[in-house]
Structure 1
């Protein structure tokens, strides 16, 4: 009985992320099928964000930006492999996957840089207010 009281009463046990995972994969494949690369790349970015959200909600990770960057690196690798196969259909898909991976990695790196500059700015302002004058 004590275990159930520890749970938050608003937690329903469901997650909003699985539909977005499915939508991301469907958009990606629709973009490849229709030859609309921005739709394919956007679908893959939605997929990366949704997988990161699922891992964050389930408590497997504490730093989602790092996981998004790792997924970006993995997508770049898969995309390069598909492009190097040089078969009909895999080239466009591989390019879309590599572009989405590069964008995911780039956005993760930019976010890390943004957070670091914000942290340094807050440290500088707190240090200047902490000094005492006699």
Structure 2
């Protein structure tokens, strides 16, 4: 009698459209965090800011993928506000070595906040144009 190996058996319930694979966000969170710290350590502000931006966007991606938030732009904006607050505290703390870190954090927070606002405005404008296009197509001329 011929038996089919267990790895060759397919179950029809496993073939649904739900993706249960690995998420790309956790490694990007780690890379972003490491880049931000390397930038602070070496005094390379662009590397530090880029690492923080990668970190924030990855966290927003994780939260969206997990279903905790529906709009990643809002998550990015909230994180941008948090970064601005934390960076301001570090700058005003007057401790040695925290000035460049605080400045990098504030810069990244401002970029996140501006990017989130621009993205939200773009999405709002795009949705309004879709609504107006659908309204004009529904009207009939007599």
For residue 12 of structure 1, report the CA deviation from its aligned partner. 3.8
Aligned residue in 2 for 1:93 = 101
Structure 2 unaligned regions, length at least 5: 1-12
In structure 1, the gaps of 5 or more residues are none
Q: Does residue 131 of structure 1 match 2:136?
A: no
Q: Deviations over 1:91-122 (max 9, x none)?
A: 00000001101100100000111111111222
- Cα distance, 1:19 vs structure 2: 0.8
* TM-score of the aligned structures, taking structure 1 as reference length: 0.89
Larger Rg: 2
> Which residue of the partner structure matches residue 71 of structure 1?
79
Distance 1:11 1:122, change over 3 A: closer
More off after superposition, 118-127 vs 100-109: 118-127
Q: Which moved more, 1:114-123 or 1:15-24?
A: 114-123
- How far apart are the structure 1 equivalents of 2:61 and 2:15? 20
Instruction: Provide the C-alpha distance between the structure 2 equivalents of 1:85 and 1:7, rounded to a whole number of angstroms.
Output: 55
Instruction: From the superposition, tell whether residues 115 and 12 of structure 1 become closer, same or farther in structure 2 (CA, over 3 Å).
Output: closer
Aligned length: 131
Question: 1:26 is matched with which residue?
Answer: 34
